Structure formats: structure tokens, C-alpha cells
Amino acid sequence: MNTTKRLILVWCIGTIAALPGLCRDSVAIVTNNEPVANVTTTQTTTTTTTATKPSGSWTLQQCVDWAKEQNITVQRKRVNVRTAELDVHTAKQNRLPTVSFSSSQMYNNRPFAQSSASVVGSEVVYNSYKNTYTGSYGLNASMTLYDGNQMKNNIKLKELAQQIAELDVDASELSIEESITQLYVNILYIEEAIKYDKELIDLSKQQLERAKALHQAGLLNKVDVSQFESQTAADEYQLVTDQTTLENYKLQLRQLLELDGDESFSVSDPDFEDDVLAPLPAKDDVYAAALAQRPEIKSKLLAMQQYDINEDIAKAGHRPTVTANAGITTSNSSGNGNMFTQLKDQINNGIGLTISIPIWDHGKTKDAVEKVRLQRESAYLDLLDTEKTLWKSIETYWLNAHSNQQRYISAKSKYDYARQSYDLTSEQFRLGLKNIVELTTDKTNVSSAAQQMLQAKYMALYNLAMLRFYKGQNVIL
């Protein structure tokens, strides 16, 4: 490397290295590790799948674990987290100096320029200025030393935005878990209802066979037999309807799990008879736990902190800014001697500070500060609305769980009595002591009581599960 290039390189390195030293105090303020928020968040990762697809029936926990990793909505939220992480990295990099190199090359042609002659020794040298070539080179560096703490606050904003993005992932996962739980309970309800449908069909077929036997014996007319046939057909129709509903629920659950439509899918049948009448947690305890843990509450709190920082950024419009600049330039042109000698002789370097002090901005900064305060007030109202919605949801789940537990107790007794009455009426009908109307009425009562019992049972289970869910406990079915 020749002497001229070495001098340029050494000067550039020295100039850039000197900039951080000039603003060491300012950088220390920006890099101070201050806590951004008091709200803790669950760290979200974008690692590969860890959940294993079950080979047989799916438990509720397996459905939830699989959906959290495979659901497209959740995966999109995780991409947003990664984007927020890059925004934080970019904001921190903005504290460093910016360095740029520029070069301009120009070829000029003067078609009507006159040539000149000069005597060099014993020779005559003709010089032509019709064609000239010029080149310029510059290396510049700049760094903001103070900007009213805008860079520092912007880093805090980006970190808060990253935490909100992580909470958004948590909220999406909880929403998926809530939807899966509802569908799972619906599937269990319909599957048990189908069992009762099949049992009623068996009873109807038995009665139909008895009716046909009585008709052949001349003890029952054809109209009564037709009524039994009609009842059997109605029971079979109800079975088909419930089976169709079951497949529809399974389809919705497969979609949440991102499973292919042709994959076989079934849910496990847990034993939770003792859970139906489990003691209910206190509403206040559930609400207090939800306030401390639910991501939508944490997100609203972080949003309010963002507006606090935005207010300080808006106030920076009244503060001065200080920027350090350094640069080195040189140039050369044809016809003026050796190129490298020109570059060396025309080196021009400098370093300086630029200070900008705002005096009057037509009240823009004042208006910006007031607007941020209004936005923070709106964010506070959003927080209150979210808290009230949360309390309403918890109270609704508690009331539904309590009422359905009481309904289940009475419906189960009603079903037992209706079934006993039907069995007795069926035997009396066989002996000719009861007519078909009485038998059909008792069978309808059995069907109605079974439906009421199942609805109360699974509504109680679902609402109990949701109370555990909002309390931050595992939903166990």
C-alpha cells in the first residue's frame, strides 16, 4: 500500500475511533440497564415442534399442547415476536455512529477548447484541454450525542412492544385452549348422548317386536304397531342427527389442531363423574388470579407504560440535540500531475459538533404532549373495560357452574324415576294393563330427562373447567 492510501486509512480509523470517546457519557445514559416494565411475560420461542401426535385417542391436554405448536394463528403471533426482537436490535444499533463512503467520477469534454504549446527542454509539448477526468472521494461519520433521550426512550418502547407481542402469543394460546375445551366438552356430551340414543332405539325395537307379536295374536291393532314403528324411526333419526353433530364438532376441533381432514380422530373418554359436583372456587379468588396472570391485562398495563414513554418523547421537542460529525475528502483531476500526489495534497479532513436548540415550533410539541396524555387516558379506560369484561366472564362461568350442578342433581333424580316408571309401564303394557299412549309418554319422559341430565352434567363440567382455566390452573377432563 502506498504512503498516500496508508495516511488516508489511518486518519479514517482514528477519526471513527475518536467519536465514541467524545460522547462516552451520553452513551452510558442510553445503555443504562433500567427496568422497562414491572410486568413479567412468558418467553415465547419459535423452536421446532416438541409435542408428539397421539396415535390413539386424544386427551384434552394433548389437544392443547399440539394446537399451541401447530395452529397457524399462534405461529403468526410468534413471527410477530421475532419481528419485535429485530426492532429492539435496530433501536439499540441506532446509538452507534453511522459511517459512509462516497465517490464521484466525472469525464468532461470541451470540443471547442484551444490547444496550447510549451517548450520542455528541446521539445515542444502540446497540451489539450478538450478531455478531462476528475475524481473525488469522501469518508464521513456522524453520531448523535444527545437527542432529548429519544433514542433511549425508543429502545424502551421497542422492548415494551416485544413484551406485548409475547403476551399476544400467550393470549392466542389461551384463546385456542378455551375453544378446544369447549369443543372437547361438546364432543364428550354428544358421544354420551349417542349412547342414550342407541339405548332408546334398542328399547323401541324391543317394544316394536312385542307390538308385532301382540298384533299377530290379535291383541293389538295395526295402528298401534304403526305408532311403535314411527317412534323407532324417530329415535333413529335423532341418532343420525347427533352423529352428524358429532362429526361437525370433530371437524372444528381438527381445524384448530391443523389436522388433515382425512385423518382419523377421536377423543379419550375420561372418568369425571365425581368432578361434576366438585366445590366451586370463590369468584374473588379466581378474579384476583386472573388479574395477575391473564395476558390481556398485562398487555393493557404495558400499553399504559408505552404512553408514559411516548409523553417523554413528545417533550423532547423542547430539548436541544447534539450531533458529532467527522469527514475526510480528497480529489484528483487529469492534467494536473500524478494522481496519487494530487490525492495526498488535496486531503481535507475535519471534525465538529452540531447543536440544534428549539425555540418556537408553533405549539406542536405542546399539542403532541397533550395528545399523548389523552391517549394514555383512553388506554386506562381500555384497561378498566378489560377488567370488567374479565369479571363478567368469571361471574358468568361461576353462576352457570352453580346452577348446572343443581340442575344435574335434580335431572339425575328425574331420569332415575322416569326410567323406573318406563320399565314398570313397559311391563304393564306387556300384560295389557297399560295402553300405548301411556307407554309412549313414559318413554318420552325418559328421553327428555336423559337430555336434561346430560346437558346439566357437561355444562357444569365446562364451566368448572373455565373457572380453573381463568385461575391459571390446568383444565383437567
Q: Domain ranges in the chain?
A: 1-35+103-146+326-357, 47-96+149-319+362-470
List b or e across 186-222, with b for residues whose CB sees 16 or more CB atoms inside 10 angstroms. Answer: bbbbbbbbbebbeebbebbeebbeebeebbeeeebee
For all residues of the chain together, what is the average pLDDT?
84
Neighbours of 60 (CB within 10 A): 22
Strand partners, 109: 131
Q: What is the CATH number of domain 47-96+149-319+362-470?
A: 1.20.1600.10
Tell me the mean pLDDT in the region 252-270: 83
Decide: residue 358, CB within 10 A, 0-12 exposed, 13-18 middle, 19+ buried.
middle
Question: Quick check: 259 pLDDT over 70?
Answer: yes
User: What's the distance, Cα to Cα, between the start and end of the chain in Å?
Assistant: 77
Tens of pLDDT, residues 137-158 = 999 999 999 998 999 999 999 9
Higher-scoring residue by pLDDT: 80, 428? 80
Decide: residue 373, CB within 10 A, 0-12 exposed, 13-18 middle, 19+ buried.
middle
What residues have CB less than 8 Å from 355, skipping those under 6 apart? 320, 321, 322, 323
Residues 41, 167 contacting (CB under 8 angstroms)? yes
Residues 176, 232 contacting (CB under 8 angstroms)? no
What was the pLDDT predicted at 29?
29
pLDDT band at 225 (very low <50, low <70, confident <90, very high): confident
Place of cell 496519487: 340
pLDDT band at 115 (very low <50, low <70, confident <90, very high): low
What was the pLDDT predicted at 104?
92
Higher-scoring residue by pLDDT: 53, 164? 164
What was the pLDDT predicted at 118?
60
How far is Cα 94 from Cα 87, in angstroms, rounded to an integer?
Answer: 11
Least confident range of 36-40, 116-120, 339-343: 36-40
What was the pLDDT predicted at 476?
62
What percent of the chain stands above pLDDT 90? 56
Cell of 458: 357437561
What was the pLDDT predicted at 345?
84
CA 80-85-89 angle, 5° bins: 145
pLDDT band at 474 (very low <50, low <70, confident <90, very high): confident
Strand partners, 127: 116
Cell of 127: 497540451
User: Beta strand pairing status for 131-146 and 321-333?
Assistant: antiparallel
Is the whole-model pTM more than 0.85? no
Cell of 438: 301411556
Tell me the mean pLDDT in the region 91-116: 83
pLDDT band at 14 (very low <50, low <70, confident <90, very high): very low
Cell of 257: 389442531
Least confident range of 129-133, 244-248, 297-301, 355-359: 129-133
What percent of the chain stands above pLDDT 70? 83
Residues 29, 152 contacting (CB under 8 angstroms)? yes
What was the pLDDT predicted at 222?
87
How far is Cα 95 from Cα 85, in angstroms, rounded to an integer?
Answer: 17
Question: Quick check: 56 pLDDT over 90?
Answer: no
How far is Cα 477 from Cα 469, in angstroms, rounded to an integer?
Answer: 12
Q: Look up residue 60 and give its amino acid.
A: L
